[in-house]
Amino acid sequence: MYAIRWLVIIPMATALPYLLQAQKNDTTSIAKKPVVERMSGTFSLGVRNDYNIFTDAPKSFGAGLGGSMRIQLLNRLNTEWFADYVASSLYGKAHRIDAHIGWNVMFYLLDPKGFKRKLTPFIAAGHCFDYTSIRINGENGAYKRKWSSAVQMSLGCHYNITPQFDVSLSTLYDLHLGNDIESELHKDGTVTIEEYKNAGFEGHIMLIFSAHYKFLKLWTPKKPSRSFWA
């Protein structure tokens, strides 16, 4: 038993310095690859068109407009601050307005290489506050509204026409948490607005088509940094 214990301890004790050495080598290899975060501080401003693929009603396709600005933190990490206004028709008898204001953190799946790479795919996540209203079409139509907050995730891609100018397409899933209002179509063809008092989840998918121009750098990138993304 005593001998078996030593059979385990001796190889472990021998291997330990190598393991430590291996860690040291890895650290050195990262340190040898300093990355200048040249895109850090880049400020861009853009416009966007949003398409609401669905809401609580079927075939409730909606179109919207908005604007966004991006402030880049690292070569592969960007932030986007947006506001938009989307109008959707519900059964042709009511309409819904969604307004969002929020932000996303974008991570570039491939090194954008200063946006000289033509296609730059990204994933993004963030949160927003939103306002929703539903109104029955016509004079003095019934009306209800709500405020809620949401989290969103998106997958998209920039097409860099020039390093300074890009158009982007992204798909975003918005998950709202808050009091819910929904339109309901009855058998007689009338539409009413239902309000649910308790908080609940509600989601919608949006397609976002945008164009951004990089105007300036808000700060000067300093010394080369050891980047995990090198």
- Give the footprint of another protein on this chain (CB under 8 A): 38, 42, 46-49, 51, 63-66, 85-87, 89, 92-95, 135, 137-139, 141, 161-165, 167, 209, 211, 213-217, 220-221
Task: Pick the closer one to another protein by CB: 93 or 146.
Answer: 93
Task: Decide: helix, strand or coil at residue 76.
Answer: coil
Q: From the CB of 158, what's the least distance to another protein, in Å? A: 14
Q: What are phi and psi of 199, to 5 degrees?
A: -65, 145
Q: Rounded to the nearest whole angstrom, what is the least distance from the CB of residue 144 to another protein in the complex?
A: 15
Rounded least distance, CB 190 to another protein, Å: 12
* Distance between CA atoms of residues 55 and 223, nearest Å: 48
Question: Cα(36)–Cα(133) distance, rounded to whole angstroms?
Answer: 47
**Residue 198 C-beta: closest distance to another protein, Å:** 29
User: Toward another protein, which CB reaches closer, 153 or 211?
Assistant: 211
Alpha-carbon distance of 102 to 24, in angstroms, equals 42
| Residues in a beta bridge with 35 | 225
Q: Which residues contact 61 (CB under 8 A, 6 or more apart)?
A: 51, 52, 53, 54, 88, 89
Name which of 13 and 134 has its Cβ closer to another protein.
Answer: 134
What is the spatial distance between Cα 9 and Cα 5, in angstroms, rounded to a whole number?
6
Between CA 185 and CA 50, with CA 99 as vertex, the angle to 5 degrees is 85
Q: What is the CA radius of gyration of the chain?
A: 25
Nearer to another protein, 88 or 154 (CB): 88
Tokens of 188: 């007689």
Which residue, 97 or 151, is less far from another protein as judged by CB?
A: 97
Distances, alpha carbon 180 to alpha carbons 54, 71, 183, 186, 203, in Å: 15, 33, 10, 19, 11
CB-nearer residue toward another protein: 61 or 201: 61
Least distance to another protein, CB of residue 211, Å = 5
Query: Minimum CB separation from another protein for residue 138, in Å?
Result: 4
